[in-house]
Structure 1
């Protein structure tokens, strides 16, 4: 495979070999200059078709297999004239090029016509020393001739900016869609989902025998252990691994819980501490400051199925924030495994709260003291 350094060296030899003022016809231009630039400088050797005839005409060069670019060759004496001030630019708008030169306009329209008939996205015109490339087909709702083009106005210009022409017009560069990104400004939009690059997506795929066996073993050895209340706490303590962002989230969650409940239980516990958002050395919020500011808000943990939300919460309960949960009234309801088949979700949740308050925290909602506390204001009004 041709490398960038080899391509640039071959271009230098081509420039040195060309005599000034020569006027080659179209076939001579192709043989002496364009062939060398494409094969020896840009790496298209083995992926070039010449004089390919299809409906309404011959194409000079079709590049790629399958074809991805068409190059239309013109005689060396026909110069693609550029407007004043454009000679130092690589990206030039097509409309200006076509309005300034009839010769250039005809060549651009010709190669674009060939590309549209053959379904080829990249169009190139060249007289051997000058190269103009643009997108001949678009899917962004923009007219072809309202777009931009890549322009190299001489072989010396190509040599000076060889890294750019390699990225845009070499066989690797075109196949990596670098020209599309440069002219379409793809980076400015939202990237496509990776699934959009997959053929026949979505598609059902059945597990292999090995995958089925591994699934059965995992359910036997892991899922049953996790769902066993006697072993759950030890399993989480021994097997849960905190690292990176998870460790930070655990510490922050612990601090939020600590701030939220610190004033509700024992008098000797400290209330949330006020801390400055920034000091002379640091501009970052401390975890205590963040926890204090969030302590009056609900905490919502979002994530896809199977990413570890339940394990994260269980680890908070058994490991990271054990003391905070011991001083709190915790109700744990798993809607995935326990509430999925219920016909009335509201009744299910209320029933679960009542049962867990009684069985776990020894709180009976119908105790006289609790009832009297709940309806205290109504009782006082009634007494009056």
Structure 2
């Protein structure tokens, strides 16, 4: 949280006013707890420390009691126990503001009042997983760590003490840095109390000299990797094949997945945020009969309305393919009679000057696609005929008969100045083309969704400016969450664009059509359209492997479920999974081809494809490079945390699918669930951050008036990883090297091994280790239970061990 100077100064002024108020309202110290809170502690929290009221929850239930103040949003980060004003903490003689041992402050009969209050709030903190706490009677404040992960009992730790309001004023910077929202977020109290953060043990990967390593490919795998990219990805960029590709391979937007591990309700409400209060109207670009008529109608009218058309879709949802299909197939009769300019922001590595990039690209495309050089002399003179007429009527025009050379030079300089204003010259040129050629002008600003929200907002402003100043219909593609957030509170809030949504097509249909198209071209020509004649392909292996893929994309439901769910609606990613599988060094390509040629068929097992996803080009699993998350990761030496992510994801899915909120669950509910299980707010925050980064959850703000509430929704990636992948030996075999093992005995057993039989044994040790850690999870009736997953994982480990060596296979340790 960024602290503005006026908040700090406002807090200091409020403390001065509170001190004066106390001096003017001296009593016999008989205020009860409620009065103390009303008159003193509320003012300390809200006015002095500047906690927003939305982040302070009074009287929160905690076991058999209640927490006086729970500070923090979306989850409590600090608890304050209020005591009535008359209950003074009898601090040791001469105790000044600063750090003291909590044991000395609470020792003996003199420290009983403070000790009782500290013990009470420690109990509340442990119940709710909140690390920081304080006790306050309105005049005195004691801050300490109520939940620790370093093995030190809270009462044996240290505390930051402010013996009086005057001490708070004299040490206001310390008070602010430790107890304000910014100070709590910055964890300043942990550092001041010198709490040693104990990280979890290092995972096996940190001890590997060549981690993550590079997996070697044999010649067959290397050739398939190159050819696969050529025929499955590069083919889309070939001008000669574009129309055929778009007709044969296009999969309609919005068709619901047949394999998703989440409910159809969540899939159907992909863009639910746009329907929030004051949200813009959004129309799907396609219906059952193809492109919605609203889009073509708006396209014809947009130039007159001078507002851009926004195409909203998640990364990889097919926005670019939809645009290409619209231009070349669905609305071809319109675009054949139009100038279309397609600005691809994804093709540029640097976008330092977005406006200049758009202008340069537009000028270049007019020249290369339509043979129109807007700086050609005759064209420039035609564009500025009226300006030249004015020039002739002006003073310099009189030089025509007196000094023809000077006249021509002045005329040329005048035109040159007009051309050098490149933005205006392009606009004037387009206007001339529209009126003279009687053609519509359409501009597409695409692929900005792969860049930052700030870049997206900037491109939207450019789109709005172009729509206002150019005689053109302007399309711009954006991510839904960027548009939603910015239209509420940011750059887009002052604009009213026409919005259409693009949902991803079915991945199975897209992949099947891509592979069939590649096979068709291979069989017919052995080469790719406009590639040089010398570039041809004579690969029986590629044809056979594509045949295997084609067969599996028609009938292998388990394989399609893996690709569909882990891609999570990103068609670009789904296609990459396939090309990576084609040339993966972790796939026995020769075996697959041999069995296909012998029998005419081959069913790709999930674990075969999964290995290519887990490892990519690496020798070992790397969670930063792999699209598959490690759900067993931990950030603290707490063995129960191995199950935090599966529990969080399962809770989000269960509650989300039961609610009427399009699958969204509030952050408050997620934190309440994990804190009930004894996990700290920091553990939950780390898990949620990782879940967002690895696409396991979608995070989105939702609003109640102007108040912002963070909500989360399960993705197919999160659901499938939890429900399916945790049960596979291949998954456990990969992530075990990235998972810290808190039990030293099992840590010695989990080593870097390579023979399959040894890896099977290691996976079984890992499973037994997790069984032991689950025994510390005491809660019942949870939305996910490790023992059920463990039993199914055991069966898969047994299956792999038996197939590896059926004669000698036995369970490790038995």
Q: TM-score, structure 2 length as denominator?
A: 0.23
Computing the radius of gyration from Cα coordinates, the structure with the larger value is 1
Which structure has more helix as a fraction of its residues? Answer: 2
Q: TM-score, structure 1 length as denominator?
A: 0.48
